[in-house]
Amino acid sequence: MCGIFGYITNKEEALGPILIAAAERLTYRGYDSVGAAALNNGTIDLRKDVGKVEQVAEKYSFTELRGQRGITQLRWATFGEPSQINAQPHLDSDGDMVGAHNGNVVNNIELREQFIAEGMTVRSQNDGETCVHAVERYINRGYEFIDAIRLAYGDLEGDYAFVIGRANDDKLYAFKKGSGMVVGLGEGFTCVSSDLPSILPLTREVIRPQDGEIVTLWADRVEVRSVKDGKLIDRKQETVTESMDAVQKGGYAHFMLKEIHEQSQVARELSHVLNGNREVDVLVGKMKNARHLYFIGCGTSYHAASVGAVYFAQLAGRAAIPVLAPQGIAQYAPAVSHADVGIFVSQSGETKDVLNALEAAEAHGMECFGLANVVGSTLTKSASLCLPLCCGYEISVPATKTFTNQVVTFLYLAFKMEGKDPSSPLDGHSLRSGQSIFEVIPELMEKTIEMVEPQIKAIAKDINEWNDLYCLGYGATYPIALEGALKLKEITYAHCEGMLSTEFKHGPLSAVSKGFPIIFVAGPNDVPLIISGINEVKVRGARTIVIAEEDPRLHANADDVIVLPKSDPQISALLGVLPLQLLSYHMSVMRGFDPDFPRNLSKTLTVD
């Protein structure tokens, strides 16, 4: 997720305290390293390292930083492990420029190779340094700074916001593509940041640049220009009235709701990173040659692994075994060998049960790979390779965007196993022609939330009195039902059991009474089967709620139908979790609970 902040003033002053305070106000975004740079009288003073703001600031005496321009950055690793050399900001080859970014430059590896071939000094693996060299390339070719930025913008693929300054200049420059950026205007200074919290204590007068715009900042004014043609843009100033707490949550009441709404954006960023990640092909090659495939996780990550197993069977014709990590030690580890491949899934990369299972599998020779959101975590270092989930920091304890990006990653891998290019435009498909399936998914996620939230609020109010309910699915929607049930348990404290819909008649049917809420998640190909399940419980008095694409047969049989946008069976399953996340959230709030921090639970489980 990262966080950047740039500051320019009309006189030399102590920048350290300003940069430290700005960095501290961005820590909620999550980070593994921090750095700061001061530009003063033709020099650049750069200090950075892995660690917390207060620790790094004390170790490197950030308070000593002085000048008229300063940049600070909190880094959440995606390209390059957390280290001092990969920490931001970064210098150009000669140390004449310094810059920092927020986001992901997905052609980072290719650009680094080009810059090295062109004779530039490339010090790190980090894509923030790539942004600096992208500008340096065109400065070296004789272009003016604005034009160099415009050309660099065309070279940098992905979603990012970037701030850069030159030693012998009186300005800072910033530009954005996909990631957040806001400019602040104060008395005797201007500033730029990836987010409002670092700005609000300084000024509430802001400008919000749009994608494809370059901002030039002086101490007393700013200019906004178009990347396309370099022409000036009249971007209006506005006054921010929200509280600090509100802007940290993006105007949402809780971080969980904010993170539910962020899922489309992080899915979009993830697909860009996967498209540019050479390790994807390495992993797919290993899986194609494997005797058996195992997808190993706990809790939400296990549910994502289970969805992935269905995707692999349906799309690639390959069986994969979803495994609960602790049970995998007893049930599978003794039987695996070097011929088998395991993908170990963990949001934090520190889940002790998953690490124990990985250790047991490695002891028997299994090739072990990972999916994790925290680059530099134990899982990313222990596995042969580990694909990043690119979700940024997830503050709310219940996983939302990390789950959906795990599912998107498995879907992407299943397409690759099938022999298809996931980035190729759809042609003659039921989805939108001219876009790839992974370009369409974020749009469908946004549309789903917009369509279902008002209805979800009403249903939540109706069923909130119940402390027992069931969530049922079939095929790819079965693990979605498990995940929905887990979310309800986590934050409403009601008992919701997730089950295979066809198993309900084998015992749990006896629990049904008048009004008993039963939620079905139905794939477009499973409607006849689900209709049987609906009527099986409805005739016994149950309140039947179905999450599915539009189908008149469902309306004719169920009490409530929460309609998803039309897609295909795999995407429909992924979309089906969004109403369940929202239902859990709204029921939790109605009960007076804090959905971000449910009792007894921790974000990272590092104990056996």
Q: Give the model's confidence band at 605: pLDDT under 50 very low, under 70 low, under 90 confident, else very high.
A: low
Q: How many CB atoms lie within 10 A of CB 362?
A: 17
Domain end, chosen from 393, 423, 453, is at 423
Q: Average pLDDT for residues 344-369, to the nearest whole number?
A: 95
Q: Give the model's confidence band at 1: pLDDT under 50 very low, under 70 low, under 90 confident, else very high.
A: low
Q: Give the model's confidence band at 432: pLDDT under 50 very low, under 70 low, under 90 confident, else very high.
A: low
Confidence (pLDDT) at 608: 56
Confidence (pLDDT) at 504: 87
Domain end, chosen from 196, 222, 248, is at 248
Backbone φ/ψ region at 46: left (φ over 0), alpha (ψ -120 to 50), beta: beta
The verdict on 280 and 383 lying in the same domain is yes
The verdict on 176 and 72 lying in the same domain is yes
**Catalytically active residues, by annotation:** 2, 603
The verdict on 13 and 111 lying in the same domain is yes
Q: What are the angstrom distances between the C-alpha of 30 and each of 1, 159, 216, 375?
A: 7, 18, 28, 12
User: Among positive and negative, which fits the CA dihedral 349, 354, 358, 359?
Assistant: positive
The verdict on 449 and 348 lying in the same domain is no
CA distance 590 to 579: 16
The verdict on 52 and 109 lying in the same domain is yes
Q: Give the model's confidence band at 248: pLDDT under 50 very low, under 70 low, under 90 confident, else very high.
A: confident
Domain end, chosen from 400, 423, 446, is at 423
CA distance 405 to 399: 11
CA distance 569 to 293: 23
Host H or E run for residue 515: none
598 Cβ contact list (under 8 Å, min separation 6): 397, 398, 490, 491, 493, 588
Tens digit of pLDDT for each residue in 124-164? 999 999 999 999 999 999 999 999 999 999 999 998 999 99
Neighbour-count burial for 249-275, b at 16+ CB within 10 Å, e otherwise: bbeeebbbbbbbbbbbbbbbbbbbbbb
Q: Give the model's confidence band at 604: pLDDT under 50 very low, under 70 low, under 90 confident, else very high.
A: low
- The whole-chain average pLDDT of the chain stands at 93
Q: Average pLDDT for residues 539-547, to the nearest whole number?
A: 94
Q: Average pLDDT for residues 225-235, to the nearest whole number?
A: 95
The verdict on 497 and 578 lying in the same domain is yes
Answer for the pair 167, 41: CB distance below 8 angstroms, yes or no. no
Q: 453 lies in a domain?
A: yes
Q: Average pLDDT for residues 41-57, to the nearest whole number?
A: 96
At what angle are helices 278-288 and 401-418 packed, to 10 degrees? Answer: 60
Q: Average pLDDT for residues 583-592, to the nearest whole number?
A: 98
Q: Average pLDDT for residues 295-324, to the nearest whole number?
A: 97
Answer for the pair 165, 71: CB distance below 8 angstroms, yes or no. yes
Tokens of 157: 């693929």
Question: Which phi and psi (to 5°) does residue 585 adopt?
Answer: -60, -50
Q: Is the pLDDT of residue 291 over 90?
A: yes
Nearest to 213 by CA among 238, 197, 233: 233
Q: Give the model's confidence band at 602: pLDDT under 50 very low, under 70 low, under 90 confident, else very high.
A: low
Q: 108 lies in a domain?
A: yes
Q: Give the model's confidence band at 497: pLDDT under 50 very low, under 70 low, under 90 confident, else very high.
A: very high
Confidence (pLDDT) at 433: 58
Angle at 401 between CA 560 and CA 302, to 5 degrees: 85
DSSP 589: H
372 Cβ contact list (under 8 Å, min separation 6): 345, 346, 347, 348, 349, 379, 380, 386, 388, 389
The verdict on 494 and 372 lying in the same domain is no
Q: How much of the chain exceeds pLDDT 90, in percent?
A: 82
Q: Is the pLDDT of residue 484 over 60?
A: yes
CA distance 208 to 60: 33
Q: 602 lies in a domain?
A: no
Q: Average pLDDT for residues 201-210, to the nearest whole number?
A: 94
Q: What are the angstrom distances between the C-alpha of 490 and each of 345, 403, 486?
A: 20, 15, 6
Q: 572 lies in a domain?
A: yes
Residue 98 DSSP SS3: strand
Q: 122 lies in a domain?
A: yes
Q: How many CB atoms lie within 10 A of CB 13?
A: 17
The verdict on 114 and 8 lying in the same domain is yes
Q: Average pLDDT for residues 56-76, to the nearest whole number?
A: 96
Burial of residue 131 (CB within 10 Å: 0-12, 13-18, 19+) is buried
Q: 284 lies in a domain?
A: yes
Answer for the pair 109, 124: CB distance below 8 angstroms, yes or no. no
SS3 content of the chain, % helix, strand, coil (to 5): 40, 25, 35
Number of domains in the chain: 3
Tens digit of pLDDT for each residue in 153-185? 999 999 899 999 999 999 999 999 988 899 999
Q: Is the pLDDT of residue 348 over 70?
A: yes
Q: 407 lies in a domain?
A: yes
The verdict on 9 and 122 lying in the same domain is yes
Answer for the pair 441, 571: CB distance below 8 angstroms, yes or no. yes
Nearest to 197 by CA among 51, 397, 1, 4: 4
Answer for the pair 268, 445: CB distance below 8 angstroms, yes or no. no
CATH (domain of 70):
3.60.20.10
CA distance 126 to 111: 11
The verdict on 376 and 458 lying in the same domain is no
Q: pTM for this one?
A: 0.86
CA distance 568 to 591: 35
Confidence (pLDDT) at 213: 96
Tens digit of pLDDT for each residue in 257-272? 999 999 999 999 999 8
563 Cβ contact list (under 8 Å, min separation 6): 451, 452, 548, 549, 550
Q: What are the angstrom distances between the C-alpha of 357 and each of 330, 337, 571, 608?
A: 9, 14, 30, 11
Q: 347 lies in a domain?
A: yes
Q: Average pLDDT for residues 440-453, to the nearest whole number?
A: 96
Confidence (pLDDT) at 601: 78
Amino acid identity at 233:
I
The verdict on 387 and 258 lying in the same domain is yes
Domain carrying residue 138: 3-248
The verdict on 223 and 294 lying in the same domain is no
Q: How much of the chain exceeds pLDDT 70, in percent?
A: 97
Sheet holding 213-217, edge to edge: 90-91, 97-105, 158-166, 172-177, 213-217, 222-226
Tens digit of pLDDT for each residue in 386-411? 999 999 888 899 999 999 999 999 99
